[in-house]
Amino acid sequence: MLVESMEDMRQIYENSPFNNFLGIKLEEFEEGSVVYSLKVTPAHLNVNQGLHGGVYFSILDSVMGATIRTVIKQPIVTVNVTINYFAPVKNGETMIARANVIQHGKSIMTAEGIIEDSNGQLLAKATGTFKRIRNR
């Protein structure tokens, strides 16, 4: 597959329709280091008025996938994600997500992602497995 420049990849993630729909903002984008933020709105809340688990998943999946892609410079798909939720997030709070690659194989990569609040409190942690998409 065509190896994309970092700027081309940055544009892909800055213009992601899904991330933009959720309100995920790209804060940092370098090889091996991607940081996202999200200011929680009422649309992100569950029936208990806390952040819906699907929002935690979405930002973690996105930040881990983007981080891996900055390293391998090829598209990937998610194979599996395991999340631990540690603390709730409420309306109006901002969360920050970051990831690092912990295993890089020929076709399978693994990353770890975390979400913290603006004070550095750990809110959630995930491990994700991703597969490189190859030309057919």
Domain spans, the chain: 6-132
pLDDT tens series, the chain, 136 aa: 455 788 888 998 989 999 999 999 999 999 999 999 999 999 999 999 999 999 999 999 999 999 999 999 989 999 999 999 999 988 999 999 999 999 999 999 999 999 999 999 999 999 999 999 986 5
- Per-residue pLDDT, 43: 96
Find out whether 124 and 55 touch, Cβ atoms under 8 Å.
no
Dist. CA 49–CA 66, nearest whole Å: 29
Instruction: Answer whether 73's CB lies under 8 Å from 9's CB.
Output: yes
Distance CA 32, CA 46 (A): 32
Name the DSSP letter for residue 44: G
Q: What is the pLDDT of residue 1?
A: 44
Cα–Cα distance measured from residue 133 to residue 97, given in angstroms and rounded to the nearest whole number:
24
Architecture of domain 6-132: Roll (3.10)
